[in-house]
Amino acid sequence: MGVYETPVMRLKGKQMAVVPEIRDAYLVVEDGVVAGYGAMKDMPAEISAVIAAPSADAVVEDLSGRFVFPAFADSHTHIVYAGSRETEYEDKIRGLSYVEIAKRGGGILNSADLLHRTSEDELYETAMQRLHQCVEGGTGAIEIKSGYGLSTEDELKMLRVIRRMKETAPIAVKSNFLAAHAFPRNFSDNHDGYVDLIVNEMIPLVAKEGLADFIDVFCDEGFFTVEQTARMLEAGAKYGMRPKIHANELALSGGIQVGVKYDALSVDHLEYVGKAERDVLRDSNTMATALPGAAFFLGMPYSPVREMIDDGLSVALASDFNPGSSPSASMKFVLSLASIKMKLTPSEALNAATVNGAYALGLAGTHGQISKGLKANFVITKPMPSFAYFSYSYTENLIEKVVVNK
Ligand code: NIG
Ligand code: FE
């Protein structure tokens, strides 16, 4: 079982290698809160008494051979969307790249067309189904972005769906306003005009309804420039929206630098990271979040996360669950990719997906860890020979139960 005596805010560099562990442990949950834990041999007499004679209001479960670890904090998803994009998946198989598909009007614009024709109720139903898939896969807190609206009306529609999900989901949900995901067709020749619309119309309306915890921009080659990103982040900051942005997926775009400059909570993707980028991240409050599911699905380079951790940085992992570049809820598979493709140890990958994921969600110290007094949010595995087996056996369903509370 992985536990923290005192909740930690985030883990950096070498700290990421250690998951504090109690073997042969007991765990007590009362009213959805972790009330105690420790080694079986140190178990207090009153707990042994409950185990010896369980009553109707004290459920006892024998978890011999299982592992218990914190539920994942998935800090980057796009699970509100309409339809699916397997046609583009086939285009990719035939050789087109993500950028080529986007240039032909596919990609994000394709999802925006589908979303425009879909009602708020239907979007809510399908997104909740995906959220339940995430929870079944061990996710205990989640961030959800807008960004398939690309007009004032449809961005607000998406954010209202996310607000409903916040109210009804069994886990904590954070919302991220991502109108700057792509340029809509009516602004294809007037990119700054779309940025004006976001700054002057959308941000104030989103803020008025209190619909967004964060603001996001796809700051990358061929998408939003550093200057446009700075304008939008500055406008969002006036309304208390902290940046969590897409950066450096396609090039050394300057996205990391502009994110850190505006005190982003996280910069995400980071397939392209050099020394200059590592240097600005090192003493910042910004989490470096990698999304190996997208690199896997698109056949693109993986983020150089090993180098970043060795250089003392703090790294998180998230699913990027979306219809175009990562159609998967599985954080277990993200751990496998992190180890197999990015050379993180299973413990580093777990810390990145739990403690550091919670930081990147704005839930540091309350989620992504098991600690006394915190809400009970954890994964119970099936019997396994070791913790490393969980991501090693990369297609086996090894989750027996997920306990969540919000
Ligand atoms: O995080 N890179 C930008 N946005 C998404 C993909 C969205 C899509 O293709 O629908 C991402 O990978
Ligand atoms: Fe994304």
What protein residues have CB closer than 5 angstroms to ion ligand 2? 320
Residue in 330, 348, 327 with CA at minimum distance from that of residue 338: 348
Q: Side chain identity at 59, as an amino acid letter?
A: V
> Which ligand lies nearest the alpha carbon of 110?
1
Alpha carbon distance 7, 19 (integer Å): 13
How many angstroms separate the Cα of 392 from the Cα of each of 215, 235, 291, 342, 386?
A: 36, 45, 19, 14, 10
Q: Helix, strand, coil % (nearest 5) of the chain?
A: 40, 20, 40
Q: What is the pLDDT along the chain (406 residues), one digit of tens a residue?
A: 567 878 899 999 999 999 999 999 999 999 999 999 999 999 999 999 988 887 878 889 999 999 999 999 999 999 999 999 999 999 999 999 988 988 887 899 999 999 999 999 999 999 999 999 999 999 999 999 999 999 999 999 999 999 999 999 999 999 999 999 999 999 999 999 999 999 999 999 999 999 999 999 999 999 999 999 999 999 999 999 999 999 999 999 999 999 999 999 999 999 999 999 999 999 999 999 999 999 999 999 999 999 999 999 999 999 999 999 999 999 999 999 999 999 999 999 999 999 999 999 999 999 999 999 999 999 999 999 999 999 999 999 999 999 999 9
Q: Tally the residues of the chain.
A: 406
Ligand 1 center from residue 271 Cα (angstroms): 13
Which residue of 322, 326, 328, 334 sits with most ligand 1 atoms within 8 Å of its CB, as the best mutation to test the pocket? 322
Sheet holding 378-381, edge to edge: 68-70, 378-381, 399-403
- Which burial class, exposed, middle or buried, applies to 166 when counting CB atoms under 10 A from its CB (0-12, 13-18, 19+)? middle
Are 338 and 318 contacting, i.e. CB atoms less than 8 angstroms apart? no
Residue in 395, 394, 397, 370 with CA at minimum distance from that of residue 381: 397
- Nearest atom within ligand 1 for CA of residue 326: 12
Alpha carbon distance 363, 173 (integer Å): 10
Q: Which residues contact 329 (CB under 8 A, 6 or more apart)?
A: 79, 130, 133, 134, 136, 137, 139, 319, 321
> Which ligand lies nearest the alpha carbon of 81?
1
Q: How far is CA 298 from its chain centroid?
A: 18
Q: What is the pLDDT of residue 14?
A: 98
Ligand 1 center from residue 314 Cα (angstroms): 23
Tokens 């996360």 belong to 305
Alpha carbon distance 343, 349 (integer Å): 9
Kindly report the protein residue whose alpha carbon is nearest to atom 9 of ligand 1: 324
pTM over 0.85? The answer is yes
Which residue of 320, 321, 326, 334 sits with most ligand 1 atoms within 8 Å of its CB, as the best mutation to test the pocket? 320
Q: Which residues contact 342 (CB under 8 A, 6 or more apart)?
A: 290, 292, 302, 303, 304, 305, 306
Alpha carbon distance 16, 319 (integer Å): 19
Residue in 220, 75, 207 with CA at minimum distance from that of residue 134: 75
Are 37 and 28 contacting, i.e. CB atoms less than 8 angstroms apart? yes
Alpha carbon distance 83, 114 (integer Å): 7
Tokens 């218990």 belong to 68
Alpha carbon distance 150, 154 (integer Å): 7
Q: What is the pLDDT of residue 55?
A: 81
Ligand 1 close to Cβ of residue 292 (< 6 A): no
Question: Got the DSSP string for 111-143?
Answer: HHHHHHTS-HHHHHHHHHHHHHHHHHTTEEEEE
Ligand 1 close to Cβ of residue 277 (< 6 A): no
SS3 category, 272: coil
- Nearest atom within ligand 1 for CA of residue 220: 2
Question: Got the DSSP string for 171-240?
Answer: SEEEEEEEEETS--GGGTT-HHHHHHHIIIIIHHHHHHTT--SEEEEEESTTSB-HHHHHHHHHHHHHTT
- Nearest atom within ligand 1 for CA of residue 107: 9
Alpha carbon distance 272, 86 (integer Å): 27
Residue in 120, 98, 95 with CA at minimum distance from that of residue 110: 98
Alpha carbon distance 349, 2 (integer Å): 13
Helix H or strand E encompassing 267:
strand 266-269
Cβ burial 100-138 (10 Å sphere, 16+ → b, else e): ebbeeebbbbbbbebbeebeeeebbebbbebbeebbebb
